[in-house]
């Protein structure tokens, strides 16, 4: 039972997913810090500055539009980074695979190429008719050593 759990946890895609979650959480913390340290004060300055910069007060209720705009900008920054560093490269890779720019298909084997060369040389020298591709002759076959 523990072996099955260990195999599950150590499978490649589970480890990749765990790494992605950790990196995503760290990146979210960086974006949140950027928003609270730079964007929110900048929006407060644009909204009139002071204690109520980026806020409206109506009948004692505060509408914090500056915090909403900061959060939206943080979301757009996160979405842009994910799109340009993850989604776009994956789409390009998938498009390349669909187009067929992947590895070339296997060509003829070395023996097949050698047989073809032998047959072409025989035909050029006026010897026996070329054998079909891959048609190796036995030691007692007529015309094996003729020139």
119-127: average pLDDT: 85
pTM: 0.46
Identify whether the C-beta of residue 77 lies closer than 8 Å to the C-beta of residue 84.
no
- Rounded Cα–Cα distance for residues 117 and 133 (Å): 10
CATH number, domain 2-99, options 1.10.286.10, 3.40.225.10, 1.10.1200.120, 3.40.30.10: 1.10.1200.120
- If one compares 61 and 137, the residue with the highest pLDDT of the two is 61
60-72: average pLDDT: 81
Predicted local confidence at residue 147, as pLDDT = 45
């Amino acid at each position: 039972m523990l072996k099955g759990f260990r195999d599950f946890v150590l499978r490649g895609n589970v480890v990749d997913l765990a790494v992605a979650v950790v990196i995503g959480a760290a990146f979210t913390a960086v974006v949140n810090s950027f928003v609270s340290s730079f964007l929110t004060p900048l929006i407060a300055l644009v909204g009139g500055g002071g204690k109520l910069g980026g806020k409206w007060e109506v009948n004692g209720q505060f509408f914090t539009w500056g915090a909403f705009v900061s959060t939206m900008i943080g979301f757009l920054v996160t979405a842009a980074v994910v799109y340009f560093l993850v989604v776009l490269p994956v789409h390009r890779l998938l498009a390349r695979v669909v187009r067929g720019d992947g590895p070339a298909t296997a060509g003829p084997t070395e023996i097949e190429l050698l047989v073809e060369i032998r047959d072409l040389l025989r035909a050029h020298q006026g010897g026996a008719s070329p054998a079909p591709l891959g048609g190796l002759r036995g030691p007692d076959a007529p015309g094996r050593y003729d020139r």
